[in-house]
Structures are given as C-alpha cells and as structure tokens.
C-alpha cells in the first residue's frame, strides 16, 4: 500500500469542523502523552492549541534535547542547473520566466565545490530544475561522483525519479534526497502546476517511498506553506513522514516547513503563514516524531531561525546561494530570495552563543 491510499482516507474529512470542536483539555491530555497517534497530532494543530503554545514548545525542546542533544548539522545547497520545463505558478525557475538558463560544466562544478569545501562543510544538497534533456540522470550521476571527491555526504533535491534511477544515484555516492510534494491537496496541486511532468501528482507523491526502497540513508519531505491551508498541509506532511518511518525503519525520515518567498514572477500566496504558525507546526511534529530530523532553510530570517533551534531544528542551511554557480558568481538571480544570508562561520557562532554545537560532518561513507 502506498501513502496515496492513506491520504485518500481524508478526502471527505472536514478538518475545520474537527478543529472547531477541540477543547483545551484535549490538547493538554495530548501534551501529557509519551507517544502520539495521528489524531493526537491533529489536535495539536488546532487553533485552540495556540493558547498553550509555550507548553507545547517546552515539550518539543525537551524531546529534541533528549534525542539529539544540543547539536545542529550544517549544509549548503549547490544548484547544478536552472533549466526547467514545468510551469509552476510560484517558482522562479518556471519555463515561461525570462532568465538566463545555465548548467554547470565540470570546471564550474569543481570551482563551486572547492569554495564550499573551504568553509569546512561536508554535507551538500544538489539541486536542479526539471529538464531531463538538459540535466538527465547521467549528468547528475557524474556531478555526484565529482562532488564525492570534496564532501562526505551528497544529497539531492531534484525532479522525482524511478526506483532504478535512485539506485543509479545511490551507486554514484548519493546518500539522501529531499523532495517537497509542494501541496498535498490534489485539486490545489493541479492549479499550481499547469504544465510539464510535475503535473503528475502521484509520481511525485510516491518518490520518497522509491528513494526509501533504494535504501538512501535519509529522506526529507515537506509541503510549501502558503499554497494551501498550512494546518492541513502540516498534518499530511506529518502522517506521510510517519508512514515512511514505520515502513522503512532503516531510513532517516525528516521534514522541512518551507514558506513561500518572493521570486521572479511575483507570485503572491493565497494563504498567509505567520511565525507563530511555524512554531506550532514544528513543535507539534516534534511530539509526533521525537527522533526525526527537522530542517529549516534560509527562506526564514536569521533571528527567526535562531529562535526556532531549541524547538526541534536538527539541520540548517548556511552560506546559501539559490543561483546556479552562485558560490563563485553571485550576479545571477536565484530560484527565490533568501532571508538569512549569513556565512557558515556566522551561523556557527550564533549556534555557539545559544549553547549548541554546529556539526559539519556527522558520518563517513565507508
């Protein structure tokens, strides 16, 4: 059974009717539990749970410290290419946006890798747009092989692949993947993805499971907050992560809570997601899955990211550029505007000041 079947169980479920009936006593009962079920998680996402947000955050902090200590792993993204054949209404790389398209050749890739490696980072996330003619799997395989000369861990955030293709990338040295469903509500998904292979909702939805079947070490999922009701998307992300972790216990399952950021094309999100909402989401998820990773990107401001760390953050991006070749050439526009422009050193210092240990390398691929 794929996660799509589990998702279909909520097709006619009235989330807001449920949330409007949640009592504060039910929220407090959930807060006292050692292990949460899906319905408990749903209760913690209710608007009334905001009234005990401090208590929720304290529980999240205690669990994070218990399972992860006071450590945060650092990584940075590396954009291989910005070619894309999709028309996603919210994305700066979409096919009908006028921007200079480029993909890195070997010399450019090595130049990027050397600059990043000089910061001390050993974990890197490789990104592309979706264009299998310009960036076929063979191109990404070769890029991973080169990057493994510089980094102990290479993960991907690219278009969804078949199981055989994930196997190819794993054999080349890839050990993790990130993929955002963007929005779990299928009707909204179709409105946001107007053309291109990304219109295939199910193929994208099942990509994390194929990555798990390929035995990648880590799989990170999420919804892009602002495209639909954040509470509903947070719930689906949480139960998707729970589904994957139960079925593939050897894989590290993690989530990210990215919010829409300004980008080329000027898309304006229909749903506003404030800082308090993000705090509630992260804290509730931490109670649902105490030993799962939570990644916070540089879409968020420096101050807000720093304040989120004690609530459950286990991984942060640092020294970020969302442009192709952006580490060696910062003149090109990126996929979206970043809000936290701090260097690896600056973020490390901020972590030290809060009593946390930045982790540049947490494993070796033997």
Q: What is the SS3 assignment for 271?
A: coil
How sure is the predictor about 7, in pLDDT bands with cuts at 50, 70 and 90?
Answer: very high
Tracing tokens 């050993």 back to the chain, one arrives at 122
Of 4-18, 34-48, 311-325, 331-345, the poorest mean pLDDT is in: 331-345
Summarize the confidence of residues 162-177 as an average pLDDT. Answer: 98
Query: In whole angstroms, what is the distance from residue 199 CA to residue 86 CA?
Result: 8
Q: Which residues contact 96 (CB under 8 A, 6 or more apart)?
A: 87
| Domains along the chain with CATH numbers | 3-359 (3.20.20.70)
pLDDT of res. 253: 99
- The b/e string for 119-149 (b: 16+ C-beta within 10 A; e otherwise) is bebbbbbbbbbbbeebbebebbbebbebbbe
Of residues 215 and 262, more confidence is placed in 215
Mean pLDDT is lowest, of 195-199, 215-219, 320-324, 335-339, for 335-339
Q: Are 273 and 232 in contact (CB under 8 A)?
A: no
Whose CA is closest to 327, among 67, 142, 125? 125
| Residue 106 CB neighbour total at 10 angstroms | 10
Q: Rounded CA gap, 319 and 137, in Å?
A: 27
SS (H, E, C) 88-103: ECCCCCCCCCCCCCCE
pLDDT at 364: 58
Percent of the chain with pLDDT over 70: 95
Which pLDDT belongs to residue 332?
58
Residue-wise pLDDT for 24-63, tens only, equals 999 999 999 999 999 999 999 999 999 999 999 999 999 9
pLDDT (average), residues 64-71: 96
331 has pLDDT over 70: no
CA distance 55 to 61: 10
Grade residue 231 by pLDDT with cuts at 50, 70 and 90.
very high
Among residues 269, 282, 331, 344, the alpha carbon closest in space to that of 116 is found at 344
Tens digit of each residue's pLDDT (9 = 90 or more) over 288-298: 999 999 999 88
pLDDT of residue 266: 66
pLDDT of residue 339: 84
pLDDT class for 93, splitting at 50, 70, 90?
confident
Stretch 66-87: mean pLDDT = 95
Q: What is the pLDDT of residue 87?
A: 93
Quick: pLDDT tens for 260-301: 876 555 677 888 999 999 999 999 999 999 999 999 988 899
**pLDDT at position 333:** 52
Sign for the pseudo-dihedral over CA of 278, 330, 254, 195: positive
Specify the higher pLDDT residue, 325 or 5: 5
SS3 state at 299: coil
Least confident of 197-206, 246-255, 332-341, 344-353: 332-341
Backbone CA torsion sign across 52, 227, 159, 98: negative
């Amino acid at each position: 059974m794929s996660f799509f079947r589990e998702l279909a169980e909520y097709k006619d479920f009235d989330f807001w009717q449920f949330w409007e009936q949640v009592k504060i006593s039910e929220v407090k009962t959930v807060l006292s539990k050692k292990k949460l079920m899906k319905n408990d998680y749903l209760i913690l996402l209710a608007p009334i749970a905001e009234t005990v947000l401090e208590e929720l955050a304290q529980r999240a902090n205690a669990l994070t410290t218990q399972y992860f200590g006071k450590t945060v792993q650092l990584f940075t993204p590396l954009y291989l290419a910005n070619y894309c054949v999709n028309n996603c209404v919210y994305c700066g790389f979409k096919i009908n946006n006028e921007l200079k398209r480029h993909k890195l050749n070997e010399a450019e890739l090595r130049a990027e890798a050397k600059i990043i490696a000089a910061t001390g980072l050993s974990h890197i996330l490789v990104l592309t747009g979706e264009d299998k003619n310009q960036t076929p799997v063979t191109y990404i395989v070769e890029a991973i092989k080169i990057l493994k000369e510089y980094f102990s861990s290479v993960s991907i955030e690219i278009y969804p692949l078949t199981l055989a293709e994930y196997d190819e990338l794993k054999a080349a040295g890839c050990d993790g993947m990130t993929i955002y469903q963007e929005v779990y509500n299928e009707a909204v998904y179709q409105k946001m993805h107007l053309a291109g292979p990304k219109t295939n909702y199910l193929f994208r939805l099942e990509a994390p499971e194929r990555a798990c079947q390929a035995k990648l070490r880590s799989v990170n999922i999420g919804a892009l907050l602002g495209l639909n009701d954040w509470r509903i998307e947070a719930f689906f992300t949480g139960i998707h992560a729970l589904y994957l972790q139960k079925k593939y216990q050897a894989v590290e399952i993690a989530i990210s809570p990215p919010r829409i950021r300004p980008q080329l094309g000027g898309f304006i999100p229909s749903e506003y997601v404030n800082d308090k909402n993000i705090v509630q989401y992260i804290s509730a998820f931490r109670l649902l899955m105490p030993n799962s990773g939570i990644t916070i990107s540089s879409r968020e401001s420096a101050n807000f990211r720093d304040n989120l760390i004690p609530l459950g953050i286990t991984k942060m991006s640092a020294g970020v550029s969302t442009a192709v070749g952006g580490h060696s050439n910062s003149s090109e526009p990126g996929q979206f505007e970043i809000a936290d422009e701090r260097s690896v050193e600056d973020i490390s210092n901020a972590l030290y000041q809060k009593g946390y240990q930045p982790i540049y390398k947490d494993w070796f691929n033997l």
